[in-house]
Amino acid sequence: MPRVTLSDVAAASGVSKATVSLVVRDSSRVSAATKARVREAMEQLGYVYDRRAANLRAQRSMTVALVATNVRNPYFAELTMAIERVLYKRGYTLLLGYSHDDQERQTRLLEAMSEHRVDGMLLVPSYDTSGDMLQKSLGASGTPHVLVTRHVPSHQADYIGVDNRAAGQLLGDHLVRSGRQHVAFLGGPPRSTARVEREQGLRTALEGHGLALDPALSIATSADRDGGERAVELLAETGRPYDAIVCYSDVVAFGAISALRARGVEAGREVAVAGFDDVPDAALQHPSLTTVATHPDQTGAEAAELLLRRIEEPDLQPHTVLLTPELKVRESTRSQDGSAPHTPDTR
Amino acid sequence: MPRVTLSDVAAASGVSKATVSLVVRDSSRVSAATKARVREAMEQLGYVYDRRAANLRAQRSMTVALVATNVRNPYFAELTMAIERVLYKRGYTLLLGYSHDDQERQTRLLEAMSEHRVDGMLLVPSYDTSGDMLQKSLGASGTPHVLVTRHVPSHQADYIGVDNRAAGQLLGDHLVRSGRQHVAFLGGPPRSTARVEREQGLRTALEGHGLALDPALSIATSADRDGGERAVELLAETGRPYDAIVCYSDVVAFGAISALRARGVEAGREVAVAGFDDVPDAALQHPSLTTVATHPDQTGAEAAELLLRRIEEPDLQPHTVLLTPELKVRESTRSQDGSAPHTPDTR
DNA sequence: CTGAAAGCGCTTACAG
DNA sequence: CTGAAAGCGCTTACAG
**A344 falls within a domain:** no
B226-239 mean pLDDT: 96
Q: Are B277 and B75 in contact (CB under 8 A)?
A: yes
B140 lies in the same domain as B84: yes
- The DSSP line for B32-53 is HHHHHHHHHHHHHHT----HHH
The answer on A279 and A168 residing in a single domain is yes
pLDDT band at B255 (very low <50, low <70, confident <90, very high): very high
Bridge-partner residues for A273, per DSSP? A245
Which 8-state DSSP code applies to residue A333? G
On whether both B277 and B176 belong to a single domain, the answer is yes
What's the pLDDT score for residue B3? Answer: 80
**Shared-domain flag, residues B123 and B217:** no
Evaluate if residue B346 carries a pLDDT over 70: no
Q: pLDDT band for position B115 (50/70/90)? A: very high
- pLDDT band, residue A347 (cuts 50/70/90): very low
Confidence of residue A301 (pLDDT cuts 50, 70, 90): very high
| DSSP bridge pairs for A241 | none
Residues B172 and B158 in one domain: no
Does residue A249 register a pLDDT over 50? yes
Q: Is the per-residue pLDDT at A51 higher than 90?
A: yes
Is B347 inside any structural domain?
no
Chains A and B: how many Cβ contacts under 8 Å? 120
Q: Is residue A340 a part of any domain in this protein?
A: no
Most confident among B24-28, B100-104, B191-195 (mean pLDDT): B100-104
The conformation of residue A286, written as its DSSP 8-state character, comes to S
Closest C-alpha to B249, from B221, B269, B213 = B221
**What is the pLDDT confidence band of residue A141, given thresholds at 50, 70 and 90?**
confident
Query: In this structure, are B194 and B144 located in the same domain?
Result: no
Q: Please report which confidence band the pLDDT of residue B102 belongs to, taking 50, 70 and 90 as the band edges.
A: very high
B346 vs A248, higher pLDDT: A248
A174 & A271 share domain:
yes
Q: CB–CB of B112/A93 below 8 Å?
A: yes
- The three-state DSSP-derived secondary structure of A207-264 is HHCCCCCCHHHEECCCCCHHHHHHHHHHHHHHCCCECEEEECCHHHHHHHHHHHHHCC
| pLDDT for B141 beyond 90 | no
Distance from residue A336's CA to nucleotide C10's C1', rounded to whole Å: 69
Footprint of strand C on the protein (CB under 7 A): A 14-19, 22, 28-31, 33-34, 53, 56-57, 59; B 3, 5-7, 17-18, 21-22, 24-25, 47-50, 53-54, 56-58
* B80 contacts in chain A (CB < 8 Å): 71
What's the pLDDT tens digit per position in A305-343?
999 999 999 888 999 999 999 999 999 998 766 555 666
Name the nucleotide with the smallest C1'–CA separation from A29. C1
Q: Is the pLDDT at A79 greater than 70, yes or no?
A: yes
Give the residue numbers spanning the domain of B26.
Answer: 6-49
Query: Quick one: what percent of chain B has pLDDT higher than 90?
Result: 83
Residue A1 has pLDDT above 70, yes or no: no
- Lowest pLDDT segment from A136-140, A274-278, B142-146, B167-171: A136-140
Instruction: Kindly state whether residues A155 and A169 are assigned to the same domain.
Output: no
The answer to whether the beta carbon of residue B26 comes closer than 7 angstroms to any atom of strand D is no
Check whether residue A6 has its CB closer than 7 Å to nucleic acid strand D. yes
* B28 beta carbon to strand D: under 7 Å: yes
What pLDDT was estimated at residue A339? 58
Query: Are both B90 and B26 inside the same structural domain?
Result: no
- Chain centroid to Cα B140, Å, comes to 25
> How many Å apart are CA A16 and CA A20, to the nearest integer?
7
Contact A96 B88 (CB under 8 A): no
- Nucleotide closest to residue B29 (CA–C1'): D1
pLDDT value at position A32? 87
Kindly state whether residues B192 and B277 are assigned to the same domain: yes
Alpha-carbon span A57 to B203, nearest angstrom: 59
pLDDT digits (tens, 9 = 90+) for B51-96: 999 999 999 999 999 999 999 999 999 999 999 999 999 999 999 9
The answer to whether residue A266 is domain-embedded is yes
Q: Around Cβ B342, how many Cβ atoms within 10 Å?
A: 20
> How far is A129 from A72, CA to CA, in rounded Å?
21
Least confident of A239-248, A327-336, B78-87, B322-331: A327-336
B261 and A70 in contact by Cβ < 8 A?
no
Question: To the nearest whole number, what is the mean pLDDT of chain B?
Answer: 93
Any atom of strand D under 7 A from CB of A49?
A: yes
Q: State the amino acid at position A104 in one-letter form.
A: E
The closest of B4, B38, B32 to B18, measured between CA atoms, is B38
Give the model's pLDDT for residue B217: 97
Is B44 in the same domain as B86? no
The answer to whether residues A182 and A243 touch, using CB atoms and an 8 Å cutoff, is yes
User: Does A285 share its domain with A314?
Assistant: no
Domains identified in chain B, total number: 3
Which pLDDT belongs to residue B214? 94
What residues of A are in contact with residue B94 (Cβ under 8 Å)? 95-97
Question: A192 or A162: whose pLDDT is higher?
Answer: A162
- Asked if residue B140 has pLDDT above 90, the reply is no
Residue A346: predicted pLDDT: 44
Domain CATH number, residue A75: 3.40.50.2300
pLDDT at B122: 98
Residue A268 lies in a domain: yes
Cα separation, A212 vs B320, whole angstroms: 61
Express as a percent the part of chain A with pLDDT over 90: 83
Q: How does B270-281 read in b/e, with b if 16+ C-beta sit within 10 Å?
A: bbbbbbbbbbbb
